[in-house]
Amino acid sequence: MYVDGVSIGPVGNYIFSHVTANHTIQATFAANLKTITAPAGPNGSISPSGAVGVDCGSNQTFTHHAQPLLPHRRRRWWTVVGRPAGELTFTNVTGPHSISASFAIDIYTMTASARAERFDRPSGAATVGCGSGHTYSIAADPGYQIADVLVDGASAGR
């Protein structure tokens, strides 16, 4: 608050006493800031991030900037107070909130199968992280030989 152009700080009232001249009084106001906490897990980012101050009653948008930083990583989920969400705008912010972005590597499934006269190790489905490797050992039962090996439907030779 200002009295006669001089700041007297954030007071709730002011009393003019023994008035013998003209005076001015001016009050200034600032919005109360509410905080939205916006961290990102490893391998990604969210923007804006950190402790984001928002004027009470205003809106704050968190856009698609929560993108993977490394190849073959994808946005796995956003969490807004424990529930999944997509791109998000907080509207009419009147209290604290939080949002977080978590990232996970792409996972692929490889399936091995064999006829009864031969076996694969391991058989069945295996999950592999993008960029990783996985080895199958292929051997024929006694009295049989490997006729062919198909990988994604194409012959890989014997």
Between 96 and 125, name the one with better pLDDT: 96
DSSP string, 22-87: ---EE----PPEEEEEE-B-TTB--SS-EEEEEETT--EEE-TT--BSSTTEEEEEEEETTEEESS
pLDDT digits (tens, 9 = 90+) for 51-91: 999 999 999 998 765 555 566 666 666 666 666 666 788 99
Write down the pTM of the prediction. 0.54
Q: What is the pLDDT of residue 125?
A: 80
Domain ranges of the chain: 33-105, 108-155
pLDDT exceeds 90 at position 92: yes
pLDDT digits (tens, 9 = 90+) for 100-125: 877 777 788 888 776 655 555 556 78
